[in-house]
Amino acid sequence: MLYIGIDLGTSAVKLLLMQADGKIEKVVSKEYPLYFPYPGWSEQKPEDWWNAVVSGLEELLSECDKTQVAGMSFGGQMHGLVILDEKDEVIRPAILWNDSRTTKECNYLNEVIGKETLSHYTANISFTGFTAPKILWVKANEPDNFERIKKIMLPKDYIAYKLSGTFCTDVSDASGMLIFDVKNKCWSKEMLEICGITEDQVAKIYESYEVVGTLKKDLAKKWGLSEQVKIIAGAGDNAAAAVGTGTVGEGRCNISLGTSGTIFISSEQFGVDKNNALHAFAHADGNYHLMGCMLSAASCNKWWMDTIINTKDYAGEQADIKKLGENKIYFLPYLMGERSPLNDPLARGTFIGLTMDTSRADMTQAVLEGVAFAIRDSFEVAKDLGIPIERSKICGGGAKSPLWKKMIANILNIKIDVIESEEGPGYGGAILAAVGCGEYASVEEAATKLVKVVETVEPTPELVTKYEESYQKFKKIYPAVKELFPLIV
C-alpha cells in the first residue's frame, strides 16, 4: 500500500508518497506567501495552504497506482491560530508561530495569571508564539472577529478538516496551544475560561496515529482515489520529524535545523522542567517529550546568504571556513526574538567582535556557530535535568550541510546520526498514516523498522575543547546586551 505524508511548513508544503516498506516514491513541494503586515507580525492565508495542498496532491498522485493509496497524515507548523465562522469561512489570516505581537498578552498570562498556575494547568508557561495569547490578542484588538469565531484550528488541522470534514487535532500539536492539559491529554477548562472560549470551539482530540475520518467523496472522485482513504490525525512538525527520525520511546534525541531550530527529547514519562525553559508536550508515539525551540535556525543562514550577501551558493560560502573553534566573531541568532530558553520576544540578531580584518567567511561561520550555540543553551537545560544525551538524530534543511553537522557534534560533544531520509515531518506523517492504517502495530515499531542511520558524525577532543571555550564566551553575550534590546525595538 501507499501512504501520503503532508508537511505543512512555513514557506511551503511538502508532500511525500511512501511505500509500506518506507521507500519514498515521490516528493512534491509547493510554496506559498508569508506576510509581515507590521514589524513582528507573521501571517499566512489558510486558503493558500489548501490550494498548495490540492495542487501538490494532484502532482504527487499523477503517476502512481491510486488504488494503492490507503491513508494520509500530517506534520505541520505549530501554534498558528486559524479561526473559522459558522459558515466554515476563514475569518482572518492565520497568526503564525513566529509572530511576536502578543507580548502584552504573554505578560498578562505569565505575570497576572502566573507562571506556576499556567504550568499547573498546561505544563508550560506562555510564549509569544503560543496560541492562547493569540486568542487573547484577537479578543482585545479585533472584537468583531472574536465574536464570529465558531471553530479554532491549528494549521495542519485546517487541512485535515478540508480533506475529511472532521474537526480534529492531535495531542502533540494541541500541547503547544497553552489551553491543553498535557499531563492528562485533555482541554484545560481553566485556560478555556481565561481565553473566553468554550470547548465547543476547540477540536476533538486524537492521538497522532488515530484515524479521524476518510477522504471526502467529492475529493476522492476528483483525484481518482477510494472513498475509504483514511485521514490520520498527524502531529506538530517537531513531533512528526521525531517520528521520521526514529526519535520515539525513552530517552532519544533529535535536532531539527529548519526555519526554526529544536532539540527534541522523547520520554515514556510525563515530566516538566521546573523553570519551564523547555516545553513539556505530548508526543506522537503516545508518550511525551521535552523540547527546546529557537525561533530562527536555518532561517538565519538563509537570511545571511540570500538577503545580506546575496548568493545561493551555500556550499561554496562554507568551503572557505577552515578554522573551526577559532572564530573571534559571534552571532546571536535572535532575528525573530527568542523562545527557549530565553523567552524574550525583544531579543534581536547581533554580531559582535568585528574588526578590520573580519572576512565574509568569518561572518558566515559566526552565523552557523551562533545557531549551534543557541541549540546548546537548551541542551544544557536538559543536562541539568539529569537527562543523559550521548547522541542525536538530525533533520531539516540545515542538516544537509556537512560543516554544520560537524559544528553541532563538537559544540554539543555528542554523536550526530544522519538518517537515510532527510524528509523529517513529511516522512513522519507518512509513517503515522501507515500506523493508522494498521500497517504497523505502533509508532515505535514502524520507526524502528523504517528509519535507517547511514552516517555518524563524531566529535573530536581537540575541537570539543576549542568550542567549549567559545561557548563559554557566547553565553555571556546575551546577558550583557539584554537591556539594550527594548531600547532599539
- Inter-helix orientation angle 443-450/425-436, to 10°: 130
List, as one string, the DSSP characters of 163-206. Answer: HH---EEEHHHHGGGSSEETTTTEE-HHHHHHHT--GGGSPEEE
Helix (H) or strand (E) holding 261, with range, is: strand 261-267
How many CB atoms lie under 10 A from the CB of residue 249?
Answer: 17
Q: Are 257 and 400 in contact (CB under 8 A)?
A: no
> Would you call 178 helix, strand, or coil by DSSP?
coil
Report how far residue 145's alpha carbon sits from residue 139's, in angstroms, rounded to the nearest whole number.
8
Burial 383-417 (b: 16+ CB within 10 A, else e): eebebebebbbbbbbbbbbebbbbbbbbbbbbebb
Rg (CA), the chain: 21
- Cis peptide bond prior to 341, omega within 30° of 0: yes
To the query of whether residue 237 is one of the catalytic residues in this protein, the response is: yes
Residue type, 320: D
Number of neighbouring beta carbons within 10 Å of residue 364? 24
Q: Which of 170, 173, 237, 273 is catalytic?
A: 237
> What 3-state DSSP class applies to 302?
helix
Rounded to an integer, what distance in angstroms lies between the CA atom of residue 89 and that of residue 358? 53
Grid cell locating 100: 511576536
Q: Give the whole-angstrom CA distance, residue 435 versus residue 150.
A: 32
Q: What are phi and psi for residue 364, nearest 5 degrees?
A: -60, -45
- Rounded distance between C-alpha atoms, residue 17 and residue 253, angstroms: 26
- Element (DSSP H or E) covering residue 477: helix 461-481
Can you tell me the distance from the alpha carbon of 62 to that of 15, in angstroms, rounded to the nearest whole number?
13
Greatest pairwise CA separation for the chain in angstroms:
66
Q: Which residue has the cell 567549549?
A: 468
Question: Residues 6 or more apart from 292 whose CB is under 8 A from it?
Answer: 262, 263, 277, 278, 279, 340, 341, 375, 377, 378, 379, 381, 382
Residue type, 190: E
Which residues are known to be catalytic? 237
